[in-house]
C-alpha cells in the first residue's frame, strides 16, 4: 500500500509542478502545427499517467533494492532497468500529449490510442528519437532512487 501512496503522490506532485512547462515545451516543438491555443487540460491526463509510470518504476526499484539489500551498484542497475521499462511503458502517453496539445479537437484517450494503432505509417517511425527519451527516463528513475537512499541515510543518522 505504501508503494501505491508514494508513487501516486510523487506522480501527482510532479505533474502539478511540471505541467505548464510541458505545455510550453510541446507548443514550442510543434510550432506551426498548433491549430488552436493549447490548454493545460489537453495534456494533463497523459502527462499525469506518464509521471505515475515513472514514479512507480522509481518506487518499485527502491523497494526491491531495500528488500534484497542490494549493493549501491546493484541498486543503480535495478534503477536503470526499471527506468528503461518505465520509458517503454510511458512512451504512448508522451505521443498522446503531443497530439492533443494545440489540436483543433482534443481527442479522448482511447480514441488517440486507436488512432495510433490504426495508423498506416510504419509504427517504428512513431518512436523516432525515443532512444534519447528512454535514456533520460532511465537516468531520472536512477536519480530518484539514489535520492531516496540519501534521504533514508540522513534520516537514520
- Tell me the per-residue pLDDT of 53-108, one tens digit each, with 9 for 90 and over: 999 999 999 999 999 999 888 988 998 899 899 988 988 888 888 888 888 776 66
Q: Is-above-0.85 flag for pTM?
A: no
Beta strands in 40-151 (DSSP E): none
Pairwise CA distance, residues 79 & 60, whole Å: 9
Q: What is the CA radius of gyration of the chain?
A: 17
Pairwise CA distance, residues 5 & 81, whole Å: 22
Amino acid at each position: 500500500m505504501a508503494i501505491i501512496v508514494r508513487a501516486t503522490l510523487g506522480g501527482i506532485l510532479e505533474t502539478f509542478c511540471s505541467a505548464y512547462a510541458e505545455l510550453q515545451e510541446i507548443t514550442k516543438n510543434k510550432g506551426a502545427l498548433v491549430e488552436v491555443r493549447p490548454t493545460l487540460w489537453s495534456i494533463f491526463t497523459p502527462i499525469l499517467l506518464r509521471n505515475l509510470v515513472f514514479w512507480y518504476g522509481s518506487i518499485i526499484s527502491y523497494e526491491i533494492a531495500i528488500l534484497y539489500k542490494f549493493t549501491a551498484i546493484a541498486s543503480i542497475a535495478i534503477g536503470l532497468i526499471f527506468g528503461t521499462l518505465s520509458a517503454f511503458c510511458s512512451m504512448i502517453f508522451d505521443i498522446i500529449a503531443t497530439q492533443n496539445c494545440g489540436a483543433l479537437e482534443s481527442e479522448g484517450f482511447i480514441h488517440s490510442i486507436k488512432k495510433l494503432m490504426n495508423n498506416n505509417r510504419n509504427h517504428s517511425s512513431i518512436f523516432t528519437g525515443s532512444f534519447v527519451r528512454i535514456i533520460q527516463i532511465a537516468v531520472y528513475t536512477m536519480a530518484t532512487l539514489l535520492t531516496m537512499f540519501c534521504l533514508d541515510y540522513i534520516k537514520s543518522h
